[in-house]
Copies of this chain bind each other. A is one copy, B any other.
Amino acid sequence: MQIGKVIGNVWATKKEESLNGMKLLIVAPIDVRDNSEGHPFIVGDLVGAGIGETVIWVQGSMARHASKDINVTIDAVIVGIVDGVELG
């Protein structure tokens, strides 16, 4: 999974119909010192994440599985909101 921060929302009126009702968030990958890096992804939200929260998401065919709807056309979904990180 990847770890990143929710930085925004995105709206798309015209979309593949299976995505209706799926909240789409913009997430930016972060490194372990909380710096953002790389380009952002659009991910579905399964856990009620909000802007500014650090989240974990899965990518690939796993995302459709996680969404519990075999017909949803999605390849990335948030599966957890991070409470804390311990660096060794």
List of B residues within 8 angstroms of A19 by Cβ: 79-80
Quick check: A85 and B16 within 8 Å, CB to CB? no
Which of B1, B7, B12 contacts A41, CB < 8 Å?
B1
Interface size counted on chain A using CB atoms at 8 A: 59
List of B residues within 8 angstroms of A76 by Cβ: 1
Quick check: A13 and B87 within 8 Å, CB to CB? no
What 1/0 flags go to A26-64 for Cβ under 8 Å of B? Answer: 101101100001111111001110011000101111111
Bound CA span A43–B1, Å: 6
Residue of B nearest to A51 (CB): B88
Q: List 27 A-B contacts (CB under 8 A).
A: A1-B43, A2-B41, A2-B42, A3-B40, A3-B41, A8-B86, A8-B88, A9-B85, A10-B56, A11-B83, A11-B84, A12-B82, A14-B47, A14-B81, A15-B56, A15-B80, A16-B46, A16-B79, A16-B80, A26-B85, A31-B39, A61-B62, A62-B73, A65-B73, A66-B73, A73-B77, A73-B79
